[in-house]
Structure 1
């Protein structure tokens, strides 16, 4: 895991990044700025239980591509989940928080992940363990209104204007961040479809 100092605020941005693209960088940059994070851990996962392994590029390639497109020194590309033997977010969060008890973590995800968030293993436990920042993505702007996660934890929504305080709030707490959006998607890039950024 990247080095941190007690009291830091750290965003956890996990995904298969298959391949990583400028849309991911935009989400990371928005989270760093709007949440006022000290670091953002760009966590390249060994696999995704909700996606086919056949279409997954080798982990080393996804790490190298991620490092090539992330220029901000506060973004730390890492693949420590492989050494943990974990592929489920809830378990990974348990390990991260146990090893870093003095750090304020926020789970960062694109709004396009909200539609399947309730299919993640122990998803309610995830929401109760760390604050969550959901960053707007094309076609998913209204997802926070209809998603099961947003409806279940409606009472825990933090106004976007208070996003900078999210990392220090007790979970459950979540916010939806509007801002610039990129139409790039890993699915389209793998399929060789032309997509305007």
Structure 2
């Protein structure tokens, strides 16, 4: 029998299971969804299962946090942006940000018009460009990396360096990737994006 599995990733980049269900061979997608939603016997039973699942996730995160705290993670560029993110993100998310930060040095800003920036990477004969909007508070990029991953892209980071911005607003440090939710919400001071 076919099996439907719903998975995602946690703030450590680990795959987690949200739920699963088996289907009949000739079952339609609508019947499958209906059965998945109504597969729990009662609301009370569902709440008990969620409580058990949450407790297991919390225990798993405590273990991952302890394991991650023992792994050596180091700053590569010593930039204020890197230091800020290092103190807030989980090691998994920090490494993703660090990759974007390092790659941002490979880009040039070739055009600025008001709050619009064109950032270009030269690769052989190819010239790959991205449009970045930054008005001092809000930032968006045509690559949509932040919307997809929740981690600022190399193009936005390049613009931040260009505009001498050395502090990231807490709105660009999603709780999903934070070690401690309080750290992410108390960031303040200095020019921010």
TM-score with structure 2 setting the length: 0.21
Q: Which has the larger radius of gyration?
A: 2
TM-score (norm 1): 0.20
Greater relative contact order (Cα < 8 A, sep 6+): 1
Larger strand fraction of residues:
2
